[in-house]
Amino acid sequence: MPKISAQQRQARRLQILQAATRCFARKGFHGASMEDIVRESRLSPGAIYCYFRGKRQIVAAIAQERHSRESALLAGLAASPNLAEGLDGLARSFFAMLQDPGEKQRRKVSIQVWAESLHDRHIRQIVERGLRQRDPLVRSLRDGQRAGQLPAGLDAESLSRVLLALLQGFILQQAWEPDLDAGGYLETVTRLLGCVIRKPADVL
């Protein structure tokens, strides 16, 4: 059997994940079978099982891909010396990403993963890895607080949960209402944040 390059292996792995995402988004996590994923990917069963032993592993890989993209966005916030600008850039990047049709499908799968995590220990571990992404957000909020850009009495931990809830809430609403006005939602979020976060000129 001819060897394939690392680049080809990565491309094939991505092909499987994209096929599985379409199946899960269309039929649900329980409704989609491995056979459905095989057909959707146009690969052989053997090719699929060379990469993943089953649906749970595929779901974990889909989540990891998403976590990697989100971590890259959060790194941009951490690198920004200005909390207001950093959060604004983070919000706009997230909402731009959520307009991509492929990302919309992936987020439908995310919602299913959230539900499964309530009674599946392995899926719960996947979700918990994503929840740990709040840690760099909390650090950035505390850094901004020390710089005087957030009120001293505001709980940064709780604020991070509020910000996460705004994003998760939009993802849920977008799944129910695909034509939801993302621009209007984003503008409202940024204006609300502007009521809490002080810009550097206001701090001086």
Domain count, the chain: 2
What are the pLDDT digits (tens) for 101-129? 888 888 999 999 888 889 988 888 888 88
- Verify that 90 and 190 share a domain, yes or no: yes
Nearest to 193 by CA among 154, 153, 139, 146: 154
Task: For residues 126 and 143, give the distance between their C-alpha atoms in angstroms, rounded to a whole number.
Answer: 28
Domain residue limits at 33: 1-53
What are the pLDDT digits (tens) for 17-66? 999 999 999 999 889 999 999 999 999 999 999 999 999 899 889 888 88
- Verify that 25 and 98 share a domain, yes or no: no
- Residue 42, C-beta contacts closer than 8 angstroms, at least 6 positions apart: 19
- Verify that 38 and 126 share a domain, yes or no: no
The token pair at 122 is: 């392995």
* 95 in Cβ contact with 188 (< 8 Å): no
CATH number of the domain bearing residue 169: 1.10.357.10
CATH number of the domain bearing residue 30: 1.10.10.60
- Verify that 131 and 190 share a domain, yes or no: yes
- Verify that 6 and 95 share a domain, yes or no: no
- Verify that 66 and 110 share a domain, yes or no: yes
- Verify that 40 and 76 share a domain, yes or no: no
Model pTM score: 0.82
Nearest to 104 by CA among 150, 134, 66, 135: 66
